[in-house]
Amino acid sequence: MCTLTFLPISERSFLLGANRDESPHRSPAQPPVKKDINGQTVLYPVDGQAGGTWIAASDHKRIACVLNGAFAPHPYNPPYRLSRGLMVLASFKWPTTKAFIDHFNFEGIEPFTYVSFEWGESQADKISVTELRWDGEQKHVKTLNGKEPHIWSSASLYTKEAIAKRKRWFEEWLQEHNKYRAEDILQFH
């Protein structure tokens, strides 16, 4: 996946924009499937090569996404223990993102940025946004404000300058759009 955008609509609703740029030589993705993972129904498109996914949503009010790279391009050093897309699916074996981050073994996985969105059943529950960057050696975890828009870009595809430029474009887009609509963010992507 190359770009992910989060636009809060209210304290309990949001728009999520995501696009995935992959090599034309990679096997095409398969249509979304539903799978039971630890008592949760998880819906996700299937990567045609590794069988994982870049984005998944569960009926337990959680969405998980992965972008390639953590902070900057990294050397490709296979073999890796587990694909990043299979890791996204494995994240649903835990009841929360925090539990996943605390207990999952990330050793041997290529660097990535994992972003999770969680919200609860009650009206008082706010949207929780968690960002995990794995640089191949250690976890870097941030809890982000679920009331503010956010953008993420693939650190393995874009230079730091290109990521900063995309962030500026997003900020300009936000200035022009005081109400968020799916068709507008689709145009941005």
Q: For 30-41, write each residue's pLDDT tens digit.
A: 999 999 999 999
Q: What is the residue extent of each domain of the chain?
A: 3-188
pLDDT for residue 150: 98
- How far apart, in Å, are the Cα atoms of 120 and each of 11, 95, 96, 127, 180? 11, 12, 11, 8, 22
The radius of gyration of the chain from alpha carbons, rounded to an integer in Å, stands at 16
Instruction: Provide the CATH number for the domain formed by 3-188 in this structure.
Output: 3.60.60.10
Q: Could you tell me which residues come within 8 angstroms of residue 99 by beta carbon, excluding any fewer than 6 positions away?
A: none
Is residue 46 predicted with pLDDT exceeding 80?
yes
Is residue 1 predicted with pLDDT exceeding 60?
no
pLDDT for residue 11: 84
pLDDT for residue 122: 67
How confident is residue 26, by pLDDT bands cut at 50, 70 and 90? confident
